[in-house]
């Protein structure tokens, strides 16, 4: 290069020659760099294509190897469950073909799936061996109302099983087989699960035993409203690993082969997998199954509050900087929260140092505790943050059904019908309360509907003014300022709630 350079430009001075040498070197190096960058971004030779494919296949092989090791570790612990049970169906399912279709679907619980007169059907699901002596964890809807339960292990051994306990508030159940030295699964810490991490789903989908699928954790802390009970605990792990009918009760595992969730439901309109499944976190499942194995039912503690998530409207009413935390609707008299000093309209923001922004998260935390355990609560009260220690109590369970009377009175601007609570109506409703108004009907898309006020709610206060009659209630409503948000205190199924009613601007 130097010889050629001197021959072409011999008349240049040594300094200029040196400068041109430097410039030419930079120019040639730049061309070489651009050329290599173009190859890396857009390979055009077979060699480069092969190199890229090799690297891709090598990475995939490592992933498959990891998955294979995990599958080998967990598969012996996941069982298939076959049941004979009585299923309630509707009158549209009459033919044998319809019953065959029902056979395919009944073993899974779906969102908005029409539960098909009463027939005897066979169904299947999955389960996880949790002790060497034969206790198996599964979903309640897999074994509920079963007349016969048969468990089949991965090695094809079959056992008759008995239902030892069930918990409708978490959709979990435990069955027992007469086995020895069975391969019990190991559980991981579901609180450490991260969005985006790899997981495997193992189960018996569509009676395809020992099926393994892979995906990632798509979300955590999901409340998808599939447990009808007001005290239901929903804190699901969401995954895109394929889950189908029959997967219920199967394992969701991390890449250490540890169970981090119990596969329970799928989001679907067709009845089959459409992208997302939901698993009960392992930490909650361990707490529940421990009680089911020992005493056959779950000993639950309670805080003694009713609550709702803080939204933008609640934040405005309370003067909060942003919508965050849990609004305390009511504190039960002489309950754990009341004894600890928690008050109505407090906003709960942390439990044991953990931020909380969803009521289902608090329910899940409490569901994993025992009566007598303590919690440290951080709450906002009148714009100041305070800390409160509370000792959890053992929760009694009661259920009261409220009848729905009818009336012709209607408040068009707010969108609900009401009636004064008198002695006769209170007795009919089995209520000790002798004040307030009963909500009879709520119109869709009205201010009352938007505030989540429902038929059978009993309104006790409006803007801290006690309601003594329908007339008093009407008078208060007429004097509310248009476009403002007012706090309504109400009773629903023996629980106290607060609702935030925005008055219409045309009032």
Spatial contact of 251 and 77, defined as CB atoms under 8 Å apart: yes
Per-position DSSP letters for 465-505, written without gaps between them:
EEP-SHHHHHHHHHTSPTT-EEEEEEEETTEEEEEEEEPPT
User: What is the arithmetic mean of pLDDT over 99-108?
Assistant: 47
For residue range 161-211, what is the model confidence (pLDDT) as tens digits?
Answer: 999 999 888 899 999 999 889 999 999 999 999 999 999 999 998 888 889
Q: Is it the case that residue 353 has pLDDT exceeding 60? A: yes
Q: Is the pLDDT of residue 422 over 90?
A: no
User: What pLDDT does 26 receive?
Assistant: 47
* 488 or 397, greater pLDDT: 488
pLDDT at 109: 47
The pLDDT tens digits for 9-46 are: 333 334 343 444 455 454 545 555 444 444 344 433 33
Of 24-28, 255-259, 465-469, where does the model show the most confidence?
Answer: 255-259
- C-alpha pair distances (Å), 46 with each of 35, 38, 39, 94, 341: 16, 15, 11, 62, 74
Q: What is the mean pLDDT of residues 65-71?
A: 84
Q: How large is the average pLDDT for residues 125-135?
A: 96
Share of the chain above pLDDT 90, in %: 32
Rg (CA), the chain: 32
For the cut 60, the answer to whether the pLDDT of residue 50 exceeds it is: no
Per-residue model confidence (pLDDT) at position 1: 39
Q: Which residue stretches of 232-332 are H helix?
A: 282-295, 312-318
Query: Between 385 and 494, where is the model more confident?
Result: 385
pLDDT band at 81 (very low <50, low <70, confident <90, very high): very high
Q: How confident is the model at residue 407 (pLDDT cuts 50, 70, 90)?
A: very low
Residue 186: DSSP 8-state:
P
Instruction: Find all residues with CB under 8 Å of 29, minimum gap 6, and list them.
Output: none
pLDDT at position 469 is 86
Answer for the pair 140, 125: CB distance below 8 angstroms, yes or no: no
Integer Cα distance of 499 and 452 in angstroms: 7
DSSP-assigned beta bridge partners for residue 265: 278
The predicted pLDDT at position 242 comes to 87
Mean predicted lDDT score pLDDT of the chain = 77
Ranges of beta strands (E only) in 256-398 are 259-266, 277-281, 301-302, 305-309, 326-331, 347-351, 354-355, 374-381, 384-391, 393-394
**Cα gap 458→461, rounded to integer Å:** 9
């Amino acid at each position: 290069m130097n010889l050629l350079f001197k021959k072409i430009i011999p008349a240049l001075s040594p300094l200029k020659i040196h400068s041109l040498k430097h410039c030419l070197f930079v120019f040639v190096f730049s061309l070489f760099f651009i050329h290599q960058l173009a190859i890396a971004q857009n390979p055009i030779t077979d060699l480069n294509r092969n190199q890229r494919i090799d690297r891709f296949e090598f990475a995939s092989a490592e992933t498959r190897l990891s998955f294979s090791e995990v599958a080998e570790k967990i598969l012996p612990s996941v069982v298939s469950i076959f049941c004979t049970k009585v299923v309630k169906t509707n009158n549209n399912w009459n033919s044998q073909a319809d019953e065959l279709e029902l056979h395919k679907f009944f073993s899974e619980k779906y969102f908005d799936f029409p539960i098909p007169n009463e027939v005897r059907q066979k169904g299947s699901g999955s389960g996880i061996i949790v002790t060497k002596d034969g206790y198996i964890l599964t979903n309640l809807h897999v074994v509920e109302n079963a007349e016969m339960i048969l468990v089949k292990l991965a090695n094809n051994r079959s056992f008759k099983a008995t239902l030892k306990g069930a918990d409708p508030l978490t959709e979990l159940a435990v069955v027992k087989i007469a086995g020895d030295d069975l391969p019990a699964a190991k559980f991981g810490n579901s609180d450490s699960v991260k969005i985006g991490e790899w997981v495997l789903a193992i189960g018996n989908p569509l009676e395809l035993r020992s099926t393994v699928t892979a995906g990632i954790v798509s979300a955590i802390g999901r409340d998808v409203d599939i447990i009808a009970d007001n005290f239901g605990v929903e804190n699901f792990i969401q995954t895109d690993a394929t889950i189908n009918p029959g997967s219920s009760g199967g394992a969701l595992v991390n890449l250490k082969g540890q169970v981090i969730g119990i596969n329970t439901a799928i989001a679907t309109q067709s009845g089959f997998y459409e992208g997302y499944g939901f698993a009960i976190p392992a930490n909650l499942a361990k707490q529940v199954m421990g009680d089911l194995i020992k005493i056959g039912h779950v000993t639950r503690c309670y805080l003694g509050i009713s609550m709702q998530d803080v939204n933008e409207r609640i934040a405005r009413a309370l003067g909060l900087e942003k919508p965050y935390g849990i609004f305390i609707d009511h504190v039960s008299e002489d309950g754990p929260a009341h004894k600890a000093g928690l008050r109505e309209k407090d906003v709960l923001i942390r439990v044991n140092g953990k931020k909380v922004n969803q009521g289902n998260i608090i329910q899940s935390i409490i569901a994993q505790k025992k009566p007598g355990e303590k919690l440290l609560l951080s709450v906002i009260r009148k714009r100041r943050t305070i800390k409160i220690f509370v000792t959890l109590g053992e929760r009694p369970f009661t259920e009261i059904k409220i009848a729905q009377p009818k009336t012709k009175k209607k408040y068009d601007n707010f969108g609900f019908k009401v009636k004064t609570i008198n002695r006769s109506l209170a007795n009919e409703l089995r209520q000790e309360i002798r004040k307030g108004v009963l909500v009879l009907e709520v119109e869709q898309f009205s201010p009352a509907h938007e505030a989540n006020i429902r038929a059978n709610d009993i309104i006790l206060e409006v803007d801290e003014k006690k309601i003594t009659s329908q007339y008093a209630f009407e008078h208060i409503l007429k004097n509310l300022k248009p476009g403002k948000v007012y706090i309504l205190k109400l009773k629903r199924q023996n629980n106290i709630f607060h609702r935030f009613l925005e008055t219409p601007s045309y009032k």
